[in-house]
């Protein structure tokens, strides 16, 4: 209905357990008319940062997200990229990411979001933000967050739409990541009471 009205539309997701392709297929399955180039997501945002700054990441992310980093040089890493790795958040993998980070002369930690937790059918799960805090503390660094609620993330979405913040409305179920992030960017925001709202 938004599309039919002629309004420009962009899906801003913090999904980091799947590629945009998988994310879009899932939404198409729910009946949404959506394509990959309408999606703004943390992994491609991180890839832009990596390319701009010549960073070679050690990836601690979900297996299904790996294809988003195709073409990124991961040899001899000089930073750590952290996503919601789920089952890949093993003791061994966390220690490995920690060792890479603490071994760097100038430790750079890029986190694909700062969520505290989320709900799945089998219960609440720790989100990437909790693991980000663990590595921040252990290495005494501050992570750079890409994805919501980072200002830069919303600015990318606006740039892709070719509109100004005051011309856009953000709609979301997360008061901090969706509504707060968009408002700090100069956008209006609408809190919906569905999804994870409680």
For a second copy, the binding residues (CB under 8 A) are 86-87, 89-91, 94-95, 98-99, 102, 116-117, 123-127, 129-131, 133-140
Q: 38 or 127: whose CB is closer to a second copy?
A: 127
Could you tell me the smallest distance in angstroms from the CB atom of residue 152 to a second copy? Answer: 22
The answer to whether the CB of 95 falls within 8 A of the CB of 58 is: no
Of the pair 47, 100, the CB lying nearest a second copy is at 100
Angstrom CA distances, 21 to 33, 61, 110, stand at 14, 17, 22
Listed residue (158, 162, 153) closest to 16, CA to CA: 153
Q: What are the structure tokens assigned to 105, written together?
A: 């002369």
Least CB distance from residue 113 to a second copy, whole Å? Answer: 13
- Closest CB 90 distance from a second copy, rounded Å: 7
Find the shortest distance in angstroms from Cβ 142 to a second copy: 13
Query: Nearest approach, Cβ of 198 to a second copy (angstroms)?
Result: 12
Structural contact between residues 112 and 142, judged by C-beta atoms closer than 8 angstroms: no
Pairing of β 123-126 and β 117-120: antiparallel
Question: 69-93 burial string, b = 16+ CB within 10 Å, else e?
Answer: beebeeeebbbbbbbbbbebbeeee
Residue linked to tokens 């967050």: 145
Q: For the CB of residue 168, give the shortest distance to a second copy in the complex, in Å.
A: 30
Nearest-angstrom CA–CA distance, 145 and 109: 9
Please tell me the distance from the alpha carbon of residue 10 to that of residue 51, in angstroms, as a whole number. Answer: 24
Q: List the structure tokens of 162.
A: 């070719």
């Amino acid at each position: 209905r938004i599309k039919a009205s002629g309004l420009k539309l962009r899906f801003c997701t913090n999904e980091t357990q799947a590629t945009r392709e998988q994310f879009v297929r899932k939404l198409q399955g729910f009946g949404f008319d959506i394509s990959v180039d309408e999606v703004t997501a943390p992994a491609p945002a991180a890839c832009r940062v990596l390319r701009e700054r010549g960073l070679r990441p050690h990836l601690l992310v979900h297996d299904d997200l790996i294809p988003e980093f195709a073409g990124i040089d991961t040899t001899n890493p000089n930073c750590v990229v952290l996503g919601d790795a789920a089952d890949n958040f093993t003791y061994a993998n966390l220690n490995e990411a920690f060792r890479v980070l603490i071994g760097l002369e100038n430790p750079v930690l890029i986190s694909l979001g700062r969520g505290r937790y989320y709900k799945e059918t089998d219960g609440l799960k720790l989100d990437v933000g909790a693991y980000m805090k663990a590595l921040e503390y252990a290495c005494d660094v501050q992570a750079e967050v890409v994805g919501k609620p980072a200002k830069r993330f919303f600015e990318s979405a606006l740039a892709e739409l070719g509109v100004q913040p005051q011309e856009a409305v953000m709609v979301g179920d997360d008061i901090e990541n969706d509504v707060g992030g968009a408002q700090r960017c100069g956008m209006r925001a609408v809190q919906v009471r569905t999804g994870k709202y409680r």
